[in-house]
A and B are shown apart, each in its own frame.
Chain A
Amino acid sequence: MNLERGTVSTRTMEIAVALLIMGLGAVVMYDNWRIGARWGEYGPQAGYFPFYIGVMIFAASTIVFLQAVFSRKPRQPFAEPAQLKSIMSLVVPTIIYIGVVYAIGIYIASAIYLAYFMRVLGRYPWRTIAPIAICVPAVLFMLFEIWFLVPLPKGPVEDFFGY
């Protein structure tokens, strides 16, 4: 099957994810071997059970990897360029948002994030955006900081108001 240029096939993705999970399995095995994965004086050591979990992750993903490499099934599209682009338009701002949360606190960052998405993706007029972008973080602030007393990351603006 001929696919459009720039299209990622399912097989490529399966190989990539299998490699990633093989790496994860290796990390799990490595760290648990480090803290001891054998039978100690008083029974199994701390890494005993997780080490074998790591072995199973590695083995299972290796089989998935081999199945994908030697697969004779026709190539299936995983995502087309347009689809990848629209996913990136969500993923990239979200990654920036997570970084910004640590700098200026979750409430201000959420207000900006909400406003950005409503404007760029939703194309709402500013008079709809402003109340929502301000009220939702404000309500969340009341809910978590004041009623449920759950501390979330805060920045200079919250400091200014004494929280």
Chain B
Amino acid sequence: MIEAVDALFHGFNVALTWQNMLFMLVGIVLGVLIGVLPGLGGANGVAILLPLTFSMSPTSAIIMLSCIYWGALFGGAITSVLFNIPGEPWSVATTFDGYPMAQKGQAGEALTAAFTSSFFGTLIAVIVLTFLAPLVAAFALKFGPAEFFAVQLLTFCSFVGMSREGPFKVIASMMIGFALAAVGLDTVTGQLRMTFGINEIIRGFDFLVAVIGLFGIGEILLTMEEGFTLKGTSAKINPRVVLQTWAKLPKYWVTAVRGTLVGCWMGITPGGATPASFMSYGLAKRFSKDGAKFGTGQLEGVVAPETAAHAAGTSALLPMLTLGIPGSPTAAVLLGGLLIWGLQPGPLLSSSC
């Protein structure tokens, strides 16, 4: 315990020089930019910006890459709230209540709730990461295919339960998603599935293409149907709105704590940030006394997925650092970056440094 605290403060000592603070700032700005641009996911962004770090010292490079990663995690929430277009898979659940809030003219509050929840989720996950890493590493090693399947099945069942439409529509939609993911080269046998002779889809459909197509174009068509007024979702964010929202947020501490727990659990196991955000939203809807109003622009509906997504995004680094198994695509690219810097993630990382 004392060793962990010592290590943490030593880390702060290294990180809090002014050059590293500057790299953090640059990294966060670039990360948010990547998260906001719907075509550039966190994984692509980290990959593109990886060469930038080659001229830096290893510590600064790792700091900057991590900041890009966290920036991208948060950037996805901005487009979700303002345009109903999730910039990243894990911000899909944020659109459920974030966008209705923006439509009601509460975009500033939704964004404040999003970044405060992100901060809370991340902070708790970092603390968990520091103290639980050795214990959890041992437990996560026992996670096999059966456990992964169970986690995913639970997530998909919660989709069916959460939906306002009939269960069979949800099942059909989910299965279409599976079918789209199955398109392309089978990695085991090398056979081509459902490509019908089209070379472009041998590598399958990119997740982001599907998300932008289904959310973005759907949203534009709906706007057209209801007339040409693009619903003004300009966010007027000023300190007063931020303070007012902060005053409201402590009410939702149960949701935030639950979201963080779900996120840490899903990040470590590693289910990833996306199922975590959906599960946290579903749980919040089930247990909140305003559960029926979810989807109409509840602050709680923003807090739940954001805390979970960020706690998961952070704790996804735990299996990456301790086991060498990335918990998300972005973590996988980050892993590549760490390897370039001569770190050997895996069970030996903590013993080798």
Which residues of A are in contact with B by a Cβ distance under 8 Å?
21, 24-25, 27-28, 31-32, 35-36, 45-47, 49-50, 53-54, 56-57, 60-61, 63-64, 67, 79, 83, 86-87, 89-91, 121, 148
Assess the B189–A60 pair: CB atoms within 8 A. no
Q: Besides A21-B172, A49-B182, A86-B228, 8 other CB < 8 A contacts?
A: A28-B179, A46-B188, A57-B176, A64-B166, A64-B168, A86-B227, A87-B221, A148-B48
Please give the distance in Å from A46's CB to the nearest CB on chain B: 4
- We find that the number of chain B residues with CB closer than 8 angstroms to chain A is 27
- Determine if A31 and B194 form an interchain contact, defined as CB atoms under 8 angstroms apart: yes
| In the bound complex, CA of A91 to CA of B196 (Å) | 26
Across the interface, B168 reaches (CB within 8 A) one of A47, A49, A67, A87, namely A67
Known A24-B176, A87-B224: A56·B186 in contact at CB below 8 Å: no
Minimum Cβ distance to chain A for residue B318 (Å): 30
B209 within 8 A of A: no
B248 CB within 8 Å of chain A: no
Q: Is the CB of A35 within 8 A of B191?
A: yes
**Taking A50-B182, A83-B225 as contacts, is the C-beta distance between A64 and B172 under 8 angstroms?**
yes
10 smallest CB-CB distances across A and B, nearest first, come from A60-B172, A50-B182, A46-B191, A46-B186, A60-B171, A46-B189, A57-B175, A63-B168, A83-B225, A60-B168
Residues of B within 8 Å of A31, CB to CB, are: 193-194, 196
Report how far A134 CA is from B171 CA in the complex, Å.
45
Q: Given A46-B188, A50-B193, A57-B179, do A79 and B225 touch, yes or no (CB 8 Å)?
A: yes
Given that A61-B172, A90-B224 are known contacts, is A46 also in contact with B193, CB under 8 Å in the complex? yes
Chain A CB within 8 A of B220 CB: yes
Residues from chain A with a CB closer than 8 A to the CB of B225 are 79, 83, 86-87
Given contacts A60-B168, A64-B168, contact A21 B194 (CB under 8 A): no
- Residue of B at shortest CB range from A24? B176
What residue in chain B is nearest A84 (Cβ atoms)? B225
A57 touches B172 (CB 8 A): yes
Instruction: Indicate if the CB atoms of A89 and B224 lie closer than 8 Å.
Output: yes
The residue that A28 contacts in the complex, of B166, B188, B194, B224, with Cβ under 8 A, is: B194
At the interface, yes or no: B293 with Cβ under 8 Å from chain A? no
Over the window 185-213 of chain B, the binary record of Cβ atoms lying under 8 Å from chain A Cβ atoms (1 yes, 0 no) is 01011011110100000000000000000
Closest beta carbon of chain B to A109's beta carbon, Å:
17
Residues of A within 8 A of B48 (CB): 148
Task: Write out, one digit per residue, whether chain B residues 74-89 have a CB within 8 A of any chain A CB (1) or not (0).
Answer: 0000000000000000
Judged by DSSP, the binding face of A is: helix
Q: Which residues in B have some Cβ–Cβ distance to A below 8 Å? A: 40, 48, 166, 168-169, 171-172, 175-176, 178-179, 182, 186, 188-189, 191-194, 196, 220-221, 224-228
Highest count of chain A CB atoms <10 Å: which of B172, B224, B225: B172
Cα–Cα distance between A148 and B49 once the two chains are bound (Å): 9
Interfacial chain B residues near A87, Cβ < 8 Å: 221, 224-225
Q: Is the Cβ of B175 less than 8 Å from the Cβ of A56? A: yes
Alpha-carbon separation in the docked complex, A36 to B196 (Å) = 15
A-B contact pairs, 7 of them (CB 8 A): A24-B176, A31-B193, A46-B188, A47-B193, A50-B178, A64-B168, A90-B221
User: Taking A86-B225, A91-B221, A121-B228 as contacts, is the C-beta distance between A24 and B179 under 8 angstroms?
Assistant: yes
Contacts A49-B182, A53-B178, A57-B175 given; does A32 touch B166 at CB 8 Å: no
Q: Find chain B residues with CB under 8 A from A50 CB.
A: 178-179, 182, 193-194
Which residues of chain A have C-beta atoms less than 8 A from B189's C-beta? 45-46
Give, as a whole number of angstroms, the nearest-CB distance from A126 to chain B: 19
Cβ of B168: which chain A residues have Cβ within 8 Å of it? 60-61, 63-64, 67
**Given the complex, which residues of B lie within 8 Å of A53, measured CB to CB?**
175, 178-179, 182
Could you tell me the distance in whole angstroms from the C-beta of A94 to the nearest C-beta in chain B?
A: 8
Q: Inside 8 A of B193's CB, which chain A residues have their CB?
A: 31-32, 35, 46-47, 50
B224 neighbours in A (Cβ, 8 Å): 86-87, 89-90
